[in-house]
């Protein structure tokens, strides 16, 4: 399936390169000309020419507004538009209405990778929207890495993308807080991370599945480590303050845990905190 890629920023160029590496004839367009460099692609003169060139059109631009700008006035009938620009579920829904209203099929995607990972199995791309379109395009889309179709609701890929980033930033926040603590005593952060933190986090990962099960069932009864025990002392706060490390990252989480205990849920497991978020 010949393919068009619109947007040759860092990510768009990696997508186009992955298609070329798989032997797909690829047409590209970028607002600023010359970004294709030595890639073996056909350069379209305009966005409209690029869309006209192939049924499958992949967009990877800065944001939602740039996608709307680029598609303005372009004939879309019969095309399959795959938007791999990061956005919100609401933006995906708007784009879906705009594109399908002009006679094209629509898929929205969330790229869970950085450009250098594109084309490797470690790169995961989430898709939602028109299922038939996904089935038609999936061999081409496999050039980017692992692909996951999440459902017909256009915003599902964006929702899951942002949820995964939320999980990642929680982990990164914990990482920098922990690193700030150990470096106060001159512990090399790389050594701490490789020999202690990563093995510990790996050992904890399977517990996430059990916690997810508690959230799905609504039964938070603690078997081993209840919330009352977890907030009985303020170890993280005390040690941080003693070492001169800010507790700005951990304070909001522990405030929620304490509130949950005050509400009579001290016998619950940690995931019960979700009830204060929803």
| Contacts with ligand NAP, residue ranges (CB under 6 A) | 7-12, 30-32, 35, 60-62, 66, 69-70, 85-86, 111, 114-115
Strand arrangement of the beta sheet that strand 42-43 belongs to: 42-43, 26-29, 3-6, 56-59, 80-83, 105-112, 124-129, 146-149
Judged by CB, which is closer to ligand NAP: 171, or 204?
171
Instruction: Count Cα atoms within 13 angstroms, Cβ side, for 32.
Output: 7
Neighbours of 103 (CB within 10 A): 11
| Nearest-approach distance from CB 39 to ligand NAP, in angstroms | 14
| Nearest-approach distance from CB 118 to ligand NAP, in angstroms | 9
| Nearest-approach distance from CB 132 to ligand NAP, in angstroms | 25
- In terms of Cβ atoms closer than 10 Å to its own Cβ (0-12, 13-18, 19+), residue 261 is buried
Q: What is the secondary structure of 122-169 as a DSSP string?
A: T-EEEEEE-HHHHHHHHHHHGGGSEEEE--SSTTHHHHHHHHHHHHHH
| Nearest-approach distance from CB 202 to ligand NAP, in angstroms | 24
Determine the Cα–Cα distance for residues 95 and 191; give it in Å rounded to an integer: 47
| Nearest-approach distance from CB 217 to ligand NAP, in angstroms | 33
Judged by CB, which is closer to ligand NAP: 167, or 199?
167
Phi, psi of 130 (to 5 degrees): -65, 115
| Nearest-approach distance from CB 221 to ligand NAP, in angstroms | 39
Judged by CB, which is closer to ligand NAP: 11, or 245?
11
Judged by CB, which is closer to ligand NAP: 7, or 271?
7
Judged by CB, which is closer to ligand NAP: 11, or 231?
11
Judged by CB, which is closer to ligand NAP: 125, or 227?
125
CA distances 221 to 199, 213, 227, 232, 272, Å, are: 27, 12, 10, 18, 9
Q: Which residue is nearest to ligand NAP (CB)?
A: 9
Judged by CB, which is closer to ligand NAP: 27, or 85?
85
Of 102, 111, 46, nearest in space to 77 by CA: 102
| Nearest-approach distance from CB 77 to ligand NAP, in angstroms | 22
Determine the Cα–Cα distance for residues 230 and 258; give it in Å rounded to an integer: 9
């Amino acid at each position: 399936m010949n393919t068009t890629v619109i947007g040759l920023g860092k990510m768009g160029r990696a997508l186009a390169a992955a298609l070329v590496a798989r032997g797909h004839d690829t047409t590209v367009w970028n607002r600023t000309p010359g970004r294709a460099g030595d890639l073996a692609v056909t350069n379209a003169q305009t966005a409209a020419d690029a869309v006209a060139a192939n049924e499958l059109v992949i967009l990877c631009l800065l944001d939602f507004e740039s996608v709307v700008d680029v598609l303005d006035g372009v004939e879309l009938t019969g095309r399959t538009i795959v938007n791999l620009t990061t956005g919100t579920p609401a933006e995906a829904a708007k784009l879906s209405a705009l594109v399908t209203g002009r006679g094209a099929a629509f898929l929205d995607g969330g790229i869970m990778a950085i450009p250098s990972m594109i084309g490797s199995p470690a790169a995961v791309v989430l898709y939602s929207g028109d299922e038939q379109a996904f089935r038609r395009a999936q061999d081409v889309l496999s050039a980017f890495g692992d692909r996951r179709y999440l459902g017909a609701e256009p915003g599902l890929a964006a929702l899951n993308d942002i949820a995964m980033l939320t999980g990642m930033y929680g982990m990164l926040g914990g990482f920098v807080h922990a690193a700030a603590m150990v470096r106060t005593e001159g512990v090399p952060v790389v050594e701490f991370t490789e020999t202690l933190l990563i093995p510990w986090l790996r050992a904890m990962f399977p517990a996430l599945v059990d916690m997810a099960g508690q959230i799905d069932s609504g039964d938070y009864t603690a078997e081993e480590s209840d919330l009352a025990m977890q907030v009985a002392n303020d170890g993280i706060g005390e040690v941080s303050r003693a070492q001169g490390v800010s507790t700005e990252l951990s304070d909001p989480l522990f405030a929620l845990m304490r509130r949950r205990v005050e509400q009579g849920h001290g016998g619950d497991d940690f995931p019960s905190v979700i009830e204060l978020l929803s």
